[in-house]
Structure 1
């Protein structure tokens, strides 16, 4: 059978409508089970959802009756509702559920690099959206409790499609799709940034700048925060007439140095940016996190871009890597291990083994650091060239040690979106999310996580 939950509830068998459930609550119950096919849903949760936390004394018996009626309606079509302990589940027997198909298509779209294929998959996914979840079955309160993850996924799909359209040079279509959505989600910074870019490419620079001002005013007034780094960067590029916003062949947020895609410097410290993994705006990897540290060359270029070494040293490192690629790959493996340990000890301060791992790398780095006078008279620690291919590893470890010894370490936050986890400094104590594409829209009401 095919079940449609995105819009009015509908059940079909071989394309023909099937009447399921004589009461609205029965269809609501089935809808809740179908949102988690193959997974047990406890009776207490079903009661809480159907009666909004104020059930009658007969609620448990009513749920049992509803399940019996649904089984009678669905068994002839091969749909099984099983009882497991104190709960129920719809067995995954090859039945189609539009919400499941929708989520699968969006995940696949996030994994492909070709923007044309991404648009095709997202068109299919968003085409399944026929209205609010269980539009004619769930009341507003139940829909609000059930629909947040699905609505979030829809917005992620819209954002991904907008980025892909911009990569294909389809800014006019992006404007048409985003213009009605942005006023409904005005603090969703990725939507705003994509629309600003599309407007700029459509010779509507004034409209793009006006949109930024409106968004900034709203963020400051309602949330007490400034726009995130990405949105500010798009604004700056529009003001500066940066031609990267006009090039549809690359992600609009791409940081590219020596032909290497590097992570955005949004954490507030090089060691945090070393941990954060999204490079560009996600056209090359699945959101919200993708691997930026793809090769030793990227590591070396990043160390120079982050100011941990100088450009002369970077050029030397690239030369050494070409001469000994196996040794370079070994250093890259160690860099990834350092990154994992640093992330762990920042997110879980009680993780002593992770801290000890970072400490060992930092101690090794200390033996290669020299203290030099800068042009302005200040002193600065620099890694020496005698470290060879390990120089960028030592530079990253030294930066990590500096962060762990800095009082600002206490202001490191992890993005509240459980799918993200980006690290950033927040000395104001106000920001709960990192302003990446998939995170800002759900920030309200989420607790900040101290890292």
Structure 2
């Protein structure tokens, strides 16, 4: 059975609509269960959500009644609501809920490297959006409590699609889609920056600059803040007619090596640069589209760029990855896990589990090292190419081990700016912010030692 919660509550079976209860609270109960399809929802949670924390004495009995009516209405369509302990769940049984499909497609698109692949995924995701969650059933408070981040994810999907369309030269379509959203969401800097770029690419430089001034005035008046680094940088580039605006898919803080986007080498050690990411680490997780380590080839090129493997190894690994995409994806996931654990290890010396995880990776790397002469005549340890695609991960792990064992490990600092979090060595003990103003904060630059 299909359930559509994005917009008015609708249900269907085999392509035909299914009429459900007109009672608002019964539909809310079903919606809560569907949002946790296949998982138990306690009766206490249902009561709390339906009556906003102020239930009547009869609330538990009312929930039992609602469940009975829903069971009777849904049973003919193969939907089973079962009870376990003090709660209920809708058995998954192949049923489809548009909220889950929307989230899945959006996150799948965020990992797609080629904009040709990304656009259709986001088209499918955004086509599911018929309006706010349970538009005709839930009030605003219940909607926020049920799935508060959903609207934010929708806007992220819109931004991702606009960026991909820009990369495909569709600036006119981007202008049409983003113009009505920019004034409603002036704090969405990525959205506004993408619209400004689209206007500029369409020969409307004056309109792009006017939009910036309008958004700036709104931010100052409403929030008392100036535009952030992303928006200011796009504004500066438009004023200078910077040719790099012809590549809107490129991040602000990157270098281009062999066609790959890599983070600046500003940490002072390869292991620190391995941790650094464009999105910053103050977020619980980088938002969709912010990840720099997007493909295995990027990992291999990065390892060569910072000197952990040689050019021959980079070419060899790139070819192996092209031949075995599945294994390349698996190894890339291992690299991302290593990076996350290494970041935790370096920022929290008391995190024993993170240290142990890095140590296990370093021990695995040590088993495949060979001692060879480098181009400069010096001998050094290199991961043996016989390790295949894991060579790049072994190289990163061995570099991490070298840093963790180095006394300089105690001088590692994380930039405190909320949009940064990049790691760097501070052997002077005087610096607070990352080098080169990576976080883009004027305040940070003014206070850097």
Q: TM-score, normalised by structure 2?
A: 0.70
CA apart distance, 1:64? 0.8
Match of 1:113 in 2: 113
* Deviation of 1:278 (Å): 5.5
* Distance (Å, rounded) in 2 between the aligned partners of 1:170 and 1:256: 25
Distance 1:147 1:258, change over 3 A: closer
C-alpha spacing 1:172/1:272, structure 2 compared with 1 (3 Å):
farther
1:349-368 deviation digits (Å, cap 9, x = unpaired): 4114656969x99xxxxxxx
Q: Is the counterpart of residue 30 in structure 1 residue 34 in structure 2?
A: no
- The CA distance in 1 between the partners of 2:171 and 2:61, in whole Å, is 55
Distance 1:21 1:317, change over 3 A: closer
* Corresponding residue SS for 1:89: strand
Alignment of 1:163 onto 2:163: yes
Partner residue, 1:239: 239
Counterpart in the other structure of 1:377: none
Look up the match of 2:291: 289
Partner of 1:86: 86
Whole-angstrom CA distance in 2 between matches of 1:139 and 1:242: 47
Task: Provide the secondary structure at the position in 2 that maps to 1:180.
Answer: helix
Structure-1 separation of matches of 2:72 and 2:418: 48
1:143 is matched with 143
Question: Which residues in structure 2 correspond to 1:48-447 (within 5 Å)?
Answer: 48-216=48-216, 227-247=227-247, 251=250, 255-265=254-264, 273-277=273-277, 287-289=289-291, 291=293, 294-301=298-305, 303=306, 318=310, 321=313, 339-352=339-352, 354=354, 386=378, 404-406=409-411, 408-409=413-414, 412=416, 423-424=421-422
> What SS is found at the alignment partner of 1:20?
coil
In structure 2, the CA distance between the partners of 1:395 and 1:43, relative to structure 1 (3 Å rule), is closer
Tell me the residue number matched to 1:367.
none
SS in 2 for 1:237: helix
SS in 1 for 2:378: helix
Provide the alpha-carbon RMSD of the alignment.
4.2
CA–CA distance in structure 2, aligned partners of residues 352 and 134 of structure 1: 45
- For the residue of structure 1 that corresponds to 2:183, the secondary structure is helix
Contact kept, 8 Å, 1:81 with 1:91, in 2: the verdict is yes
Residue ranges of structure 1 left out of the alignment (5+ in a row): 280-284, 304-313, 362-383, 416-421, 429-433, 436-451
Equivalent residue of 1:184, what SS? coil
Equivalenced residues, count: 378
Assess, with a 3 A threshold, how the Cα gap between structure 1 residues 355 and 176 changes in structure 2: closer, same or farther. Answer: same
Q: Is the 8 A contact 1:263 1:278 kept in 2?
A: no
Residues 345, 351 of structure 1: 8 Å contact kept: yes
C-alpha separation in 2, matches of 1:325 and 1:130: 45
Match of 2:427 in 1: none
Moved more, 153-162 or 109-118: 109-118
Give the whole-Å Cα distance in 1 for the aligned partners of 2:259 and 2:241: 23
**Residue aligned with 2:7, SS:** coil
Matched, 1:12 2:12: yes
More relative contact order, 1 or 2 (CA 8 Å, 6+ apart):
1
Is residue 320–residue 389 contact of structure 1 (8 Å, CA) maintained in 2?
no
* Cα distance change, pair 96–404 in 1 and its aligned pair in 2 (3 A): same
Contact kept in structure 1, 2:303 and 2:309, CA below 8 Å: no
Per the alignment, do residues 402 and 188 of structure 1 end up closer, same or farther by CA in structure 2, a change over 3 Å counting? farther
Instruction: Please state how far the C-alpha of 1:340 moved relative to its aligned partner.
Output: 4.8
TM superposition shift of 1:92: 0.7
* Contact kept in structure 1, 2:172 and 2:198, CA below 8 Å: yes
Distance 1:16-1:241 versus aligned 2 partners, 3 A rule? same
Q: How far is 1:60 from its partner?
A: 1.1
TM-superposed deviation, 1:115: 1.8
In structure 2, what is the Cα distance between the partners aligned to 1:403 and 1:233?
A: 34
Paired with 1:403 and 1:234, the residues of 2 have a C-alpha distance of: 37
Q: Could you list the per-position Cα deviations for residues 398-423 of structure 1 after superposition, in whole angstroms to 9, with x for gaps in the alignment? A: 888698544854x64787xxxxxx73
Sort the Cα spacing of 1:231 and 1:152 in 2 relative to 1 into closer, same or farther, 3 A: same
Q: Retained in 1: the 8 A contact 2:264–2:273?
A: yes
1:82 counterpart SS class:
strand
TM-score by length of 1: 0.70
